[in-house]
Amino acid sequence: QVQLVESGGGLVQAGGSLRLACTASGRYFSRYVMGWFRQAPGKEREFVSTIRQTGGGTYYADSVKGRFTVSRDNAKNTVYLQMNSLGPEDTGNYYCAAASRIASYSREAEYDYWGQGTQVTVSS
């Protein structure tokens, strides 16, 4: 069983930056693929980014590529999402998720555990 807790959300002006963190309890964090998803008001949840177990493989949605960077510190059981050049379209609740094995990193159904989310609001 893995419990995930996100932090770092908040209100930021357009063009600003935030760094989200997701800390996992339980054992064997390094064995999990970690993903970030977001849900904007009135919209379905969407894929943002994924990082593989050792950090050797990272994947991004086209909408955030070049602006967001995912990383992880397995010694701290934590995955990060550095978000730069934020715009109002990035507003939403950001969730981290963990998958023990994965075929399609952008599919929600592939992930076994989810956090409660952290709100990001970008003002124009």
Q: How many residues does the chain have?
A: 124
31 SS3 class = helix
pLDDT of residue 108: 96
Model pLDDT, residue 56: 80
Amino acid found at 10? G
pLDDT at 4: 97
CA distance 14 to 89: 10
Tens digits of pLDDT across the chain (124 residues): 899 999 999 999 999 999 999 999 988 999 999 999 999 999 999 999 999 998 789 999 999 999 999 999 999 999 999 999 999 999 999 999 999 988 899 999 999 999 999 999 999 9
Q: Could you tell me the two tokens for 41?
A: 């008001």
